Amino acid sequence: MPIEQRVMNAPQRPGAAASGGGIKPKAEAAAPEETPKKSKKKLFVIVGIAVVVLAAAAYYFLVMSKGGEAAEPAPEPGEVFTVEAMSINLADGHYLRLGFGLQLTLEAHELDAAKARDAAIALYSGKSVAEVTDPATRDTLKDQLATSLETLYEGEVMGVYLTDYVTQ
């Protein structure tokens, strides 16, 4: 019969047969308890780092991006260019007498009134007298005309002032 020699509290060799005595070394018994504690600590560290990175990114995009770049200064107002009053045929057989002024920027060059007149005719000619006389619609149409003229004159127009607005 072979003689088997056992050593207590020694780690088992990888190739050795398992002992049937049910006695486990203390190192093996303690290892499973420490693993969950270490993994929980590691998880908290990873989550903490992720929160810090997200907070830093949010701070950068919300605070730093607004003040980081110098915003384009608002253009200074120059003279008001008056467009002569004109009669526009409305969709339902009525007329609109429309005159307006263009608030120009300080750097604006001489403007050709034909572009402004054409944009106004294109905008108002398809409207009915009911649409044109409604105050809310009138303000909306004025804003649309201002946007159209700012595009046509490449930023030289800052605003539109209605000087003559009569329906018949």
Report if residue 18 sits inside a domain.
no
| CA distances (Å), origin 36, targets 39, 46, 106 | 5, 15, 71
Q: State whether 67 and 101 are in the same domain.
A: no
Q: State whether 96 and 137 are in the same domain.
A: yes
Among residues 164, 159, 133, the alpha carbon closest in space to that of 147 is found at 159
Q: State whether 49 and 107 are in the same domain.
A: no
Neighbours of 155 (CB within 10 A): 11
Q: What is the mean pLDDT of the chain?
A: 80
Q: State whether 157 and 95 are in the same domain.
A: yes
Q: State whether 118 and 54 are in the same domain.
A: no
Q: How many domains does the chain have?
A: 2
Q: What is the model's pLDDT at position 147?
A: 92
Per-residue pLDDT tens over the stretch 81-138: 889 999 999 888 899 999 999 888 888 778 888 999 999 999 999 889 998 999 888 9
For range 59-80, the mean pLDDT: 72
Q: State whether 104 and 146 are in the same domain.
A: yes
Domain of residue 116: give its range. 77-167
Q: At what angle do helices 113-124 and 135-152 cross, to 10 degrees?
A: 140
Q: State whether 83 and 127 are in the same domain.
A: yes
For range 135-146, the mean pLDDT: 91
CATH code of residue 127: 3.30.479.30
Residue 42: pLDDT band with limits 50, 70, 90: confident
Q: State whether 147 and 111 are in the same domain.
A: yes
Share of the chain above pLDDT 70, in %: 74
Q: State whether 30 and 66 are in the same domain.
A: yes
- Considering 7, 38, 71, which residue would you say is the last residue of a domain? 71
* Predicted TM-score of the model (pTM): 0.55
Q: What is the model's pLDDT at position 20?
A: 52
Q: State whether 120 and 57 are in the same domain.
A: no
